């Protein structure tokens, strides 16, 4: 007999729609798992059980007409994302007691769709690193092996989904922050095209690098959550691409994009770094499956090279300059203080020069890969990294360089604004997940999602679970429907 958390997000929503389950049952079940496993995997900074139960009751009482496919389904919101009335720390001790008075647009949209948040997931401080190991929560650990990081900055979201604490979660991605945790934890992490998902109501768009997006176990679940998030909002700095007929879930279910030309490369782009054989093997498997599905897979040069790193580095330093009052600066982590010090030294002229040259590199890269509908490459240069590995020698400059070498692919597509998804196609010899990165043309999210769903089917599916998935005995936590089994 399957447990409730074995159901995908869409299966949970369908069970609610059929009257077989209530949102309150599902929320109670997942809250019990959060209570049992949340600190073990470092998934949550703040859990909101009473708010979740109230929202579940409201979801169950809502009129049936107009409900979407994720109505009543449990989820979680990243701790970088403003949530009205809920402690939101931005992963930092400097903001440990902050309770925002307003919601981010993406939170408002998720609530309007009937999704029920269980709380705020662990993130890196101010979203500055690709691991989530701060002072306001336990480190986000990979549910497949707790010695390894779940990544960042959406590390808690990935840990929560991979451990079965929620079926889907909201995250954001400014340099790989959805796709890196997805690769490490065996999930689907989707960075939409620039402008597809609103980033307001606060902020200036951060040069178009960060984007809100979904993280889940299957392409269809991720597409369904993207449909919720990708709603036009007046005043956004970037024009959203048109949504496909039938929505992104519709194209995911169709999973038949027609023949595509897919450019394959494994050369790292932001560092001259050897690529682990397991990462190359995952790309090889994806290429073979795509070719078998009727696509033309061709070798192409990497669109960027390591010479782009100083430009991205300059912009990343400046983006670390989130307003922090002087008396709170001492509460920031060494890496954050290092990045902010570098950012404060960047002149307006130097920033404008870096942004201009980055755009020139984007144009050159687009010409190198012209004629390709999709690009295929590794998500990371190595399959996994232990908790504490990036900070081991106490030097924040070396920490930042280790991150660049570990993840020399993802950030390029934040610069280009193109949609990009990490898919769990590979495994290490020890059974740990290895992701591949599939990237589409700007605005062509529908094509990317449809191809990703086709690849999922060609691989016979990848919704697999770590041993910790079974670590909670439902018989010992069964109250008011918690732990109920389904046939």
Active site residues: 78, 153, 177
**CA–CA distance, 147 with 142 (Å, rounded to integer):** 7
Contact (Cβ atoms closer than 8 angstroms) between residue 116 and residue 27: yes
CB proximity list for 359: less than 8 A, separation 6 or greater: none
Pairwise CA distance, residues 293 & 407, whole Å: 29
Q: Provide Rg for the chain, Cα atoms.
A: 21
21 touches 59 (CB < 8 A): no
Q: Which two tokens stand for residue 250?
A: 């519709």
Q: How far apart are CA 406 and CA 468, in angstroms?
A: 26
For 256-259, which contacts have Cβ atoms below 8 Å and span 24 or more sequence positions?
256/450, 256/454, 257/447, 257/450, 257/451, 257/454, 259/294, 259/295, 259/296
Encoded tokens for 275? 């690529």
């Amino acid at each position: 007999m399957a447990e409730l958390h074995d159901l995908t997000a869409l299966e949970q929503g369908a069970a609610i729609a059929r009257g077989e389950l209530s949102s309150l049952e599902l929320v109670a079940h997942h809250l019990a798992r959060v209570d049992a496993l949340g600190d073990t995997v470092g998934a949550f900074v703040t859990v909101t059980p009473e708010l979740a139960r109230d929202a579940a009751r409201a979801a169950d009482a809502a009129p049936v007409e107009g409900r979407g496919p994720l109505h009543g389904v449990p989820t979680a919101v990243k701790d970088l994302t403003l949530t009205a009335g809920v402690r939101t720390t931005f992963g930092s001790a400097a903001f440990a007691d902050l309770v925002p008075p307003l919601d981010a647009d993406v939170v408002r949209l998720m609530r309007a769709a009937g999704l029920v948040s269980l709380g705020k997931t662990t993130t890196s401080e101010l979203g500055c690193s690709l691991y989530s190991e701060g002072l306001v929560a336990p480190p986000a650990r990979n549910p497949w092996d707790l010695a390894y990081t779940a990544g960042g900055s959406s590390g808690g979201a990935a840990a929560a989904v991979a451990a079965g604490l929620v079926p889907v979660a909201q995250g954001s991605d400014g340099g790989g922050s959805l796709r890196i945790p997805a690769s490490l934890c065996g999930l689907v992490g989707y960075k939409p095209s620039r402008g597809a998902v609103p980033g307001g109501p606060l902020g200036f768009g951060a040069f178009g690098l960060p984007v809100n997006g979904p993280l889940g176990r299957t392409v269809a679940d991720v597409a369904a959550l993207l449909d919720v998030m990708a709603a036009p909002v007046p005043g956004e700095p970037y024009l959203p691409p048109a949504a496909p007929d039938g929505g992104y879930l519709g194209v995911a279910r169709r999973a038949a994009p027609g023949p595509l030309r897919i450019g394959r490369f494994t050369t790292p782009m932001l560092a001259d770094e050897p690529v682990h054989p397991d990462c190359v093997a995952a790309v090889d498997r994806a290429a073979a499956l795509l070719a078998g599905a009727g696509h033309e897979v061709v070798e192409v040069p990497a669109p960027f090279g390591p010479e782009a790193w100083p430009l991205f580095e300059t912009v990343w330093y400046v983006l670390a300059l989130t307003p922090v009052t002087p008396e709170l600066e001492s509460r920031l982590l060494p890496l954050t203080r290092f990045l902010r010090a570098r950012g404060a030294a960047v002149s307006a002229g130097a920033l404008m020069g870096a942004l201009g040259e980055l755009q020139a590199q984007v144009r050159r890269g687009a010409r190198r890969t012209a004629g390709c509908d999709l690009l295929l490459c590794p998500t990371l240069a190595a399959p996994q990294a232990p908790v504490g590995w990036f900070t081991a020698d106490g030097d924040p400059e070396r920490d930042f360089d280790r991150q660049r070498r570990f993840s020399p692919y993802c950030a390029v597509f934040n610069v280009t604004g193109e949609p990009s998804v990490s898919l769990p196609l590979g495994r290490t010899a020890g059974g740990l997940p290895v992701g591949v990165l599939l990237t589409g043309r700007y605005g062509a999210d529908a094509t990317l999602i449809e191809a990703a769903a086709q690849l999922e089917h060609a691989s016979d599916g990848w919704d697999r679970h770590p041993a910790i998935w079974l670590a909670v005995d439902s018989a010992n936590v069964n109250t008011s429907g918690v732990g109920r089994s389904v046939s």
